[in-house]
Amino acid sequence: MHTFISKLEERSESVNSLLCVGLDPHPSDLNRFSGAGAKDFCLRLIDATMEYVAAYKPNTAFFEALGAEGFVALKEIIDIVPKDIPIILDAKRGDIASTAQAYAKAAFETLGSDAITINPYLGEDSVEPFVSDPARGVFLLCKTSNPSAKDVQDLRIITEGPGSLKLFEYIAMLADTWNTNDNIGLVVGATQPDSLAQVRNVTQNLWILAPGIGSQGGDLNAALTAGLRQDGMGLLIPVSRGISRSPNRQQAAKEIRDRINDFRFREPRQTRVVRNSALVSLNTFSSIADGLLDAGCIKFGEFTLKSGLVSPIYIDLRRLVGFPALLRQIGKAYIKILENLEFDHLAALPYAAMPITTSICLDMNCSMVYPRKEAKSYGTKVQIEGIYKIGQKAVVIDDLISTGSSKFEGIEKLESGSLIVKDVVVLIDRSHDGGAELRARGYNLHSVMKIVDILDYYERNHLVDPSQIEKARRFLED
């Protein structure tokens, strides 16, 4: 099935570009304020930049301002663009039912564009008419580049699921679940690289359209750092006036394309810390959080730790063996992460992770290995149990992470057995920084849930005394 995203990726790879040129015929840029003037302006821009672009993005507002002749000019421009170059109509539509269907018909059938920007804040039924055909796509407004976007899009929302979700993060999470036809992307402003990084951590695979480079003040390298996927793809950089008002448009487009590629291929991208509390569905999050509390896997009170410290919270995931339904549900939550990773085996760290990994392997029909805590002094005397070949990839599975150092002993044993380890997946991240020690040594940390989100959930739903929650927060922050 040829989808909008596959078309976009094919074009991006064929010209080695993530540049999206905006076709924005500002009145001050036209030799005459008319449909013919707008068409002439855009065709000159297309002719100068065609060999360097992954996509074009005409802004419908400038054409609509010209009346009927502007609409005709827009269609003629779209018809002239080579069919292998995606056209993303920047229209920011948003409506429901027959009105949304009419907008989709206008964009895709009448004008012939490949994709359109739309407002998803009316819900999934307002998006569906635009994505029913896999060959046509949308970029959903998620975190826009204007300064006051934070007044609405940064609002904290109350859900049955993970805490500490901002509205734009929730939109990104929904987009991931709606993307069944491989034709949904997100609009996230390059002017806010922190938000761009948050969105990329919520959705590892969706394409992001990141406006704001140039006249709006967005920093290109910061946007690339925050928004690129691990494969160096997944991010479209729209530029309009920075090219259209250049004395040499062709050279300007080439320079921006080359700057992007210099970063993509020469700068090592930082390993991402995936905030997966927002990746599990809200129902799954609440069900697992409730189950961990009911099963006594998370307890509140006073507990003396191995270090001698007295903790107001204790996490004991070894108890999962007594709750098979919860154990299997947790295994399925791990699978949501593992589906995006490459591996030959899952490597369980003894002992709490072993039943979790067994459950995962039964559902995924994959192989498990594990490093022994102590090498056998008899029989085969192996240090790694399981069947594997030298040079195969193993993803390390554990129950939780407090510090990266707690994982290194097991990883070193696996690597000494000539297995390749790049990823570590845990159920609960209770670390301060998502495992900086792991990142420093080249490993990727992925977590199903973060302890801060679990605490927020318990507090918000009145499942644990607020004073106990506050004590746990203070202890974890120290």
C-alpha of 452 from chain center: 20
Residue 259 and residue 305 share a domain: no
Q: In sequence order, which ranges of 81-142 are alpha helices (DSSP H)?
A: 97-104, 124-131
Q: Which of 215, 246, 266 is the last residue of a domain?
A: 266
Q: Which of 266, 295, 322 is the last residue of a domain?
A: 266
Question: Residues 122, 123, 126, CA angle at the centre, nearest 5°?
Answer: 75
> Is residue 192 scored above 90 in pLDDT?
no
> Is residue 397 scored above 60 in pLDDT?
yes
* 62-71, 189-198, 419-428: range with lowest mean pLDDT: 189-198
Name the residue with tokens 């791990």. 334
Q: What is the pLDDT of residue 198?
A: 85
Q: What is the pLDDT of residue 58?
A: 97
Q: What is the pLDDT of residue 273?
A: 37
Residue 185 and residue 296 share a domain: no
| DSSP conformation class of 59 | B
For residues 378 and 370, the answer to whether their CB atoms sit within 8 Å is: no
Name the residue with tokens 């080249």. 442
Pairwise CA distance, residues 419 & 417, whole Å: 6
92 counts as catalytic:
yes
Q: What is the pLDDT of residue 457?
A: 84
Region 393-411 average pLDDT: 91
Range of the domain at 335: 274-477
Region 432-440 average pLDDT: 78
3-class secondary-structure state, position 311? strand
Q: What is the pLDDT of residue 275?
A: 39
Q: What is the pLDDT of residue 272?
A: 40
Residue 108 and residue 203 share a domain: yes
For residues 347 and 395, the answer to whether their CB atoms sit within 8 Å is: yes
In the chain, how many domains are there?
2
Q: Which carries the bigger pLDDT value, residue 322 or residue 273?
A: 322
Pairwise CA distance, residues 120 & 140, whole Å: 6
Region 184-191 average pLDDT: 94
CATH number of the domain residue 391 falls in: 3.40.50.2020
Residue 284 and residue 259 share a domain: no
Among candidate residues 174, 57, 163, the one with its CA nearest the CA of residue 121: 174
> Is residue 279 scored above 70 in pLDDT?
no
> Is residue 79 scored above 60 in pLDDT?
yes
Q: Which of 225, 240, 266 is the last residue of a domain?
A: 266
The string over 410-427, giving b where at least 16 C-beta atoms fall within 10 Å of a residue's C-beta and e elsewhere, is bbebbeebebebebbbbb
Residue 127 and residue 34 share a domain: yes
Q: What is the pLDDT of residue 278?
A: 41
Among candidate residues 195, 190, 191, the one with its CA nearest the CA of residue 167: 195
What predicted TM-score, i.e. pTM, was given to this entire model?
0.61
Region 273-287 average pLDDT: 57
Q: What is the pLDDT of residue 451?
A: 92
Residue 292 and residue 196 share a domain: no
Q: What is the pLDDT of residue 194?
A: 85
Residue 262 and residue 346 share a domain: no
- Taking only the tens place, the pLDDT of each residue in 153-186 is 888 776 554 445 789 988 998 998 899 999 999 9
For residues 425 and 395, the answer to whether their CB atoms sit within 8 Å is: yes
Q: Which carries the bigger pLDDT value, residue 182 or residue 150?
A: 182
Q: What is the pLDDT of residue 113?
A: 97
Residue 457 and residue 399 share a domain: yes
Q: What is the pLDDT of residue 269?
A: 46
Residue 362 and residue 316 share a domain: yes
Task: Exactly one of 39, 75, 83, 92 is catalytic; name it.
Answer: 92
Computed over every residue of the chain, the mean pLDDT equals: 89
Residue 144 and residue 101 share a domain: yes
> Is residue 378 scored above 70 in pLDDT?
no
- Taking only the tens place, the pLDDT of each residue in 206-233 is 999 999 887 677 789 889 988 998 888 9
CATH number of the domain residue 253 falls in: 3.20.20.70
Residue 430 and residue 289 share a domain: yes
Q: Which carries the bigger pLDDT value, residue 375 or residue 96?
A: 96
Pairwise CA distance, residues 298 & 318, whole Å: 11
Q: What is the pLDDT of residue 164?
A: 55
Region 253-265 average pLDDT: 92
> Is residue 85 scored above 80 in pLDDT?
yes
Q: What is the pLDDT of residue 55?
A: 97
Q: What is the pLDDT of residue 208?
A: 97
Percent share of the chain, pLDDT over 70: 93
- Taking only the tens place, the pLDDT of each residue in 16-75 is 999 999 999 999 888 888 989 999 999 999 999 999 999 999 999 999 999 999 999 999
* 55-64, 86-95, 161-170, 333-342: range with lowest mean pLDDT: 161-170
Region 423-449 average pLDDT: 87
Residue 362 and residue 259 share a domain: no
Name the residue with tokens 């029989």. 379
Q: What is the pLDDT of residue 102?
A: 96
